[in-house]
Amino acid sequence: MGAGEGPRQPDGDGTIKVFAKGKHVRTEYEDDGDIEFYKDGKHVRTEYAPGHAWHGYIEFFEDGEHVRTEYAPTHARHGDIDFFEDGEHFRTEFAPEHAGHGEIHFWTDEAHVRTEFAPGHKNHGEIHFKSGKRVRTQFFRLKKKKMSKITQYIVEETDDE
């Protein structure tokens, strides 16, 4: 039991509901290892038990929709933050302790199509476009902390995906 939690209430079908101060806060599905967390009666997070193929994934929900996945410290992708819209992965950012911090990767149909760089990153102002093995980098002239017109294109062959 976590702090402030009441007794675990098995449903008889391998499902355990956990309540705190009379409110449903967690459901554990023993058969498949899903652990759902609730706040004010709404499903806000799902984690997965050890042994589950997705153990280490931490999925966040808003209004019943999956909006973000983070990864536990024991997971190989720890520090990655994947964002979802309408069920599709469209952006990945990286936590401050991650080597990729400041990079913002954009995805279309699970293909990495573009990387932008946040303020403070050494490549801030660049946008790297990817299409297969082609990369186009755009550099922007920064004026009064706002990006203005494109000043240069570089096109090069690369094996980077």
- For 113-138, the pLDDT digits (tens) are 999 999 999 988 888 888 655 455 65
- For 5-28, the pLDDT digits (tens) are 655 666 667 899 999 998 999 999
What domains are there in the chain, each with its CATH number? 5-124 (3.90.930)
At residue 114, the 3 state secondary structure works out as strand
* Helix, strand, coil abundance in the chain, percent, nearest 5: 0, 60, 40
Look-up of token digits 């759902």 = 36
Q: Does the global pTM surpass 0.85?
A: no
Burial class of residue 105 in the structure, from the number of CB atoms within 10 Å of its CB (0-12 exposed, 13-18 middle, 19+ buried): buried
